[in-house]
């Protein structure tokens, strides 16, 4: 028996705000979270901007003595989880603890800790390495700390599939509940890779925008003048529950999860194939999983990185999957405002897709100024727009040719 799965909580931390409604209001107002980097000296860097989380006080969410045990990506995960749990009203009592799990993805993990501890090693030798170095760094400790903090004893896992990490975490959690392996899951993703090595590494690949003189204009998905993505940070956590479990405790239901599609490109370490085959199959698999027709989908939160290649091929994939309906549905990339959260992107954007369904409003693609003939869909340019739609799709595609699509439905009881 396949069980129905609903979303009862969304917790967001982004460059637009620490908290779900702060981030969401920033999205709807078209606010840019991109500015010059303040974390480190960018002298000599070709890219000097990022979408940093501003005003984050970890002590609002974490005891001071615990901070030394966790990298920033873990801190963001805990903050976002707190927001999601509070919104959902989920209480993990001993009676339900072994039926509540945690599944949080990250593409990079604790880059900040790795760089700091490497400096300590080089300057003071191995005795200067913190005993908390490993647990503060490895990807699965975001899930680990969350499970310990809230007492969730069900499935505990993590994904590290580049920019698809947290979309896979949400999709896998949906399947765990649907097949009765859990009744509720805390899931999503987190990332904190705005470090010298993080920025320098992506810049060396020539993946980042170099529009340093106008940071707020740098992330411009689907626009003809796009020149690369802007690295962002933060976390997006969802509370998924089996419908009956949620109804019995009177939980607020924000949306229903109805489809999950995965695929592999088997083509290139960083680039999708020219026919966009992997993205096509991921979206088709999500629709097939939900038994939903393409023309029923009203909105796509696109992967939309603001790189020339990705945006063109995602547009092609959407046209292949949706046919003539591609001209009627709305597509937007919220990365234009939040930057690209890498492994945390899918969690953040799944949360935004859920909020779009809840409020029946389409998030905009900002900085859309110059139409690209290869990107000719309705990208909700520059301003949010009211609309009535029942299904929203969220796409995430990662290095190594790993793809995930999540399909959400407006909950109607």
- Side-chain half-sphere CA neighbours of 254 within 13 A: 24
Question: Which residues have a catalytic role annotated?
Answer: 163, 303, 340
Residue 376, classed as helix, strand or coil, is coil
413 confidence band (pLDDT: 50, 70, 90):
confident
- Percent pLDDT > 70 in the chain is 100
For CATH 3.40.47.10, the residue range(s) in the chain are 5-248, 260-409
In this predicted structure, the answer to whether residue 103 has a pLDDT above a threshold of 80 is: yes
pLDDT of residue 412: 87
pLDDT recorded at residue 1: 64
| Confidence label for 406 from pLDDT (cuts 50, 70 and 90) | very high
CATH topology (fold) of 260-409: Peroxisomal Thiolase; Chain A, domain 1 (3.40.47)
How far from chain centre, in Å, is Cα 40?
A: 24
Query: Residues 24-31: what's their mean pLDDT?
Result: 98
Q: Can you say whether the dihedral through the CA atoms of 186, 80, 25, 307 is positive or negative?
A: negative
The Cα 273–Cα 397 span in angstroms is: 12
Over residues 8-29, mean pLDDT: 98
User: pLDDT at position 139, please?
Assistant: 98
- Please give the share of the chain, as a percent, with pLDDT higher than 90: 98
Instruction: Express each pLDDT in 203-253 by its tens digit.
Output: 999 999 999 999 999 999 999 999 999 999 999 999 999 999 999 999 999
Asked whether residue 303 carries a pLDDT value surpassing 90, the answer given is yes
- For residue 369, what pLDDT band results from cuts at 50, 70 and 90? very high
Angle at 398 between CA 393 and CA 399, to 5 degrees: 165
The answer to whether 129 and 117 have CB atoms below 8 angstroms apart is yes
- Bridge partner list, 394: 301, 406
Summary mean pLDDT of the chain = 97
CA distance 186 to 78: 11
CATH number for the segment(s) 5-248: 3.40.47.10
Dist CA 372 CA 53 (whole Å): 31
* Cα 59 from Cα 232, distance rounded (Å): 22
pLDDT tens digits along 270-289: 989 999 999 999 999 999 99
Residue 360 pLDDT greater than 80, yes or no: yes
What does the alpha-carbon distance between residue 165 and residue 161 come to, in Å, rounded to a whole number? 4
Q: Which has the closest alpha carbon to 21: 80, 77, 63?
A: 80
Q: Give burial (CB, 10 Å; 0-12/13-18/19+) of 252.
A: middle
From CA 93, how far away is CA 314, in angstroms rounded?
A: 43
pLDDT at 2: 85
Among 278, 263, 347, 332, which Cα is nearest to 302's? 332
Q: With 90 as the cut, is the pLDDT of residue 17 above it?
A: yes
* Contact yes or no for 171/404 (Cβ under 8 A): yes
pLDDT digits (tens, 9 = 90+) for 107-147: 999 999 999 999 999 999 999 999 999 999 999 999 999 99
């Amino acid at each position: 028996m396949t069980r129905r799965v609903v979303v009862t909580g969304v917790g967001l931390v982004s460059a637009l705000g620490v908290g779900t409604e702060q981030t969401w209001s920033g999205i709807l107002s078209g606010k840019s979270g991109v500015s010059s980097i303040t974390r480190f000296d960018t002298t000599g860097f070709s890219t000097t901007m990022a979408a940093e989380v501003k005003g984050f006080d970890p002590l609002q969410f974490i005891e001071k003595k615990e901070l030394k045990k966790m990298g920033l990506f873990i801190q963001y995960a805990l903050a976002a989880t707190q927001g999601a749990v509070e919104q959902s009203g989920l209480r993990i009592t001993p009676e339900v603890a072994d039926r509540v799990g945690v599944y949080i993805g990250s593409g990079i993990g604790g880059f900040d800790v790795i760089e700091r501890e490497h400096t300590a090693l080089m300057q003071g030798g191995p005795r200067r390495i913190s005993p908390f170095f490993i647990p503060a760094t490895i990807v699965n400790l975001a899930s680990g700390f969350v499970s310990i903090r809230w007492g969730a004893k069900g499935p505990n896992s993590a994904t590290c599939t580049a920019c698809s990490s947290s979309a896979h975490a949400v999709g896998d959690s949906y399947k765990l509940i649907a097949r009765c392996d859990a009744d509720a899951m805390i899931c999503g993703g987190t990332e904190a890779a705005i470090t010298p090595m993080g920025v320098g590494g992506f810049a060396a690949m020539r993946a980042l925008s170099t529009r340093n003189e106008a940071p707020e204009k740098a992330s411009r998905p689907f626009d003809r003048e796009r020149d690369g993505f802007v690295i962002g940070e933060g976390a997006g956590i969802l509370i998924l529950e089996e419908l009956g479990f949620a109804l019995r405790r009177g939980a607020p239901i924000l949306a229903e999860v109805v489809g999950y599609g995965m695929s592999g490109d088997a083509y290139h370490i960083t680039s999708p194939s020219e026919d966009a085959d992997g993205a096509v199959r991921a979206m088709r698999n999500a629709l097939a999983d939900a038994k939903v027709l393409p023309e029923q989908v009203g909105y796509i939160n696109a992967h939309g990185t603001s790189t020339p290649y990705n945006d063109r091929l995602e547009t092609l994939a959407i046209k292949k999957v949706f046919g003539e309906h591609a001209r009627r549905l709305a597509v937007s990339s919220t990365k234009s405002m939040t930057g690209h959260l890498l492994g945390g992107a899918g969690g953040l954007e799944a949360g935004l897709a859920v909020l779009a369904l809840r409020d029946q409003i389409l998030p905009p693609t900002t900085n859309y100024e110059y139409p690209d003939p290869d990107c000719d869909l309705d990208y909700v340019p520059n301003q949010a727009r009211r609309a009535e739609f029942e299904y929203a799709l969220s796409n995430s595609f990662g290095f190594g040719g790993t793809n995930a699509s999540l399909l959400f439905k407006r909950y109607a009881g």
